[in-house]
Amino acid sequence: MFKPFIKNVTTGRELLWRSIRLKKSLDEICHILELEIPPSERLKVRKHHRLEVRGRNDLDNGYGGERRISTVLVDEITSTASVDKHSIIVIGRSPARDIIDSTWSDYDDEKDIKFYHDEPTLRELVRRIGSKFGITCDTFPTDQIDDPTDIVNYFAFENESPWTKLMDEADQQGFIFTSNEAGNLYLWEVQETDREQFHITEGVNIKNIKWTENGSEQFHKYVVKGGGYVANEIDNTCPGNRTLTIYITDLYVSQEEVKRRAETEMNRRSEIKTVVTVPGWGLTDEQIKNLGNTREKEIYWFPNSLIPVKVPTLGLNASLLISEVEYLANAETVSCDITLVNRGMYL
């Protein structure tokens, strides 16, 4: 039987908790943890401590019945009190927060050199930047021998975080940045999961469902400029003359990459999503038993996977991409909110 728990890696102590809310999203590099703990636990956690969200299940034989789900660094601790309740709220983000929040320059004053002007691959570039903060980066799947990322021809930044430029470069090469369970980084492509156990089926594993069509960030015309090229995409589902123009600073960006950026920007902003609440944080005990040895096999819901979705009530019968997973737990229930979108939003 599955049970989530929180381990303070900094102190080596396990924390008692009242509620857990953990979000993993393709739109945010960091996992975000909101944890409510009783007042008795206050002295067991401090800002910048390293916390792990773990899952305990005796059937998870490949990992000794205990598996890491996320790693965060504590950003904030808040004590709240009322007449009938006193609790502590702990907020944390993945260690990649340090890259995102920091500002510096690509020029090393001590060595009088620029770090990133020797045309490294995207993966090598991220590894160099991440090493400053003790963060590694792998391409997913991690068993790839060759580096699947392309050379970054030019990369410079001055008194700023390089993160936005890294995101743009990854997007141009068709990769997505995410934090992994250990708190490091993955570069991976949208992929179709070969794990048939993961599915969303009305009448089988759906507790609640919500469908949303959002046009607040949608535009009629998308213009992307870079490398001397210009790409235009028109979204006829958004009337009027709303226009979004994006300029790519990479002087060596190709015409194909400029066009792809315009297409993906249009697809992402034409937002139609379905949020489904399912019981538990992953596979049922029976499904886990059917896996045999669970080593290197996913048993928890995770973003960036195409899964079969069958919801006749909404006319859904297709493979949809998991763009976000929000793990929820309290004394009464354990569940997941899973956000599903069309694959084209992240191609």
The C-alpha atoms of residue 109 and residue 161 are separated, in whole angstroms, by 17
Q: Is the peptide bond before 141 cis (omega within 30 degrees of 0)?
A: yes
What is the mean pLDDT of the segment spanning 257-271?
87
DSSP 182: T
Say yes or no: 334 and 209 in one domain. Answer: yes
What's the total number of domains in the chain? 3
Say yes or no: 204 and 299 in one domain. Answer: yes
Q: Which two tokens stand for residue 125?
A: 């570039």
The C-alpha atoms of residue 303 and residue 252 are separated, in whole angstroms, by 31
Say yes or no: 262 and 203 in one domain. Answer: no
What is the mean pLDDT of the segment spanning 317-346?
92
What is the mean pLDDT of the segment spanning 128-132?
91
Task: Identify whether the C-beta of residue 56 lies closer than 8 Å to the C-beta of residue 5.
Answer: yes
What is the mean pLDDT of the segment spanning 312-327?
92
With cut-offs at 50, 70 and 90, classify the pLDDT of residue 69.
very high
**CATH number of the domain where residue 2 is located:** 2.30.300.10
Say yes or no: 200 and 305 in one domain. Answer: yes
Q: Which two tokens stand for residue 89?
A: 């709220």
What is the mean pLDDT of the segment spanning 285-304?
92
- Measured at the CA of 306, the angle between CA 21 and CA 64, to 5 degrees, comes to 55
**CATH number of the domain where residue 246 is located:** 3.30.1920.10
E strand segments, 65-148: 66-81, 86-93, 107-108, 113-114, 137-140
Answer with the one of 269, 287, 305 that is the final residue of a domain. 269
Task: Identify whether the C-beta of residue 277 lies closer than 8 Å to the C-beta of residue 208.
Answer: yes
pLDDT for 112 equals 45
Q: Is the pLDDT of residue 109 over 70?
A: no
Kindly calculate the radius of gyration of the chain based on its CA atoms and give it in whole angstroms. Answer: 22
Span 223-258, pLDDT tens digits:
999 989 999 999 999 988 999 999 987 777 889 889
pLDDT for 15 equals 97
Say yes or no: 121 and 184 in one domain. Answer: yes
Burial 155-179 (b: 16+ CB within 10 A, else e): bebeeebbbebbebbbbbbbbbbbb
DSSP 150: P
Q: Is the pLDDT of residue 294 over 90?
A: yes
Find the farthest-apart pair of alpha carbons in the chain and give their distance in angstroms, rounded: 64
Long-range contact pairs involving 313-318 (C-beta distance under 8 Å, separation at least 24): 313/202, 313/209, 314/209, 314/211, 314/274, 316/274
pLDDT for 330 equals 96
Say yes or no: 1 and 63 in one domain. Answer: yes
Q: How many CB atoms lie within 10 A of CB 109?
A: 7
Q: How many CB atoms lie within 10 A of CB 319?
A: 15
Winning range, highest mean pLDDT, from 64-73, 123-132, 149-158: 64-73
Q: Where are the alpha helices (DSSP H) in 271-312?
A: 285-291
Winning range, highest mean pLDDT, from 6-20, 76-90, 167-181: 6-20
Q: How far is CA 345 from CA 85, 99, 304, in A?
A: 43, 25, 11
The C-alpha atoms of residue 330 and residue 18 are separated, in whole angstroms, by 6
With cut-offs at 50, 70 and 90, classify the pLDDT of residue 68.
very high
Say yes or no: 113 and 171 in one domain. Answer: yes
Average pLDDT value over all residues in the chain? 90
pLDDT for 296 equals 86
Say yes or no: 265 and 280 in one domain. Answer: no
Say yes or no: 164 and 25 in one domain. Answer: no
Helix axes 163-173, 255-269, angle to 10 degrees: 100
Task: Identify whether the C-beta of residue 205 lies closer than 8 Å to the C-beta of residue 279.
Answer: yes
The residue assigned the tokens 């989530």 is 4
Instruction: Report which of residues 194 and 1 the model is more confident about.
Output: 1
Say yes or no: 89 and 11 in one domain. Answer: yes
With cut-offs at 50, 70 and 90, classify the pLDDT of residue 305.
confident
By residue range, what is the domain housing residue 244?
216-269
pLDDT for 159 equals 86
Say yes or no: 89 and 129 in one domain. Answer: no
Span 328-341, pLDDT tens digits:
999 999 999 999 99
Lowest mean pLDDT among 55-59, 249-253, 282-286, 310-314: 249-253
**CATH number of the domain where residue 173 is located:** 3.55.50.10
Burial of 282 (0-12, 13-18, 19+ CB in 10 A): buried
Q: Is the pLDDT of residue 167 over 80?
A: yes
pLDDT for 260 equals 87
Q: Is the pLDDT of residue 110 over 60?
A: no
Residues 6 or more apart from 257 whose CB is under 8 A from it? 172, 173, 226, 227, 248
Say yes or no: 107 and 151 in one domain. Answer: yes
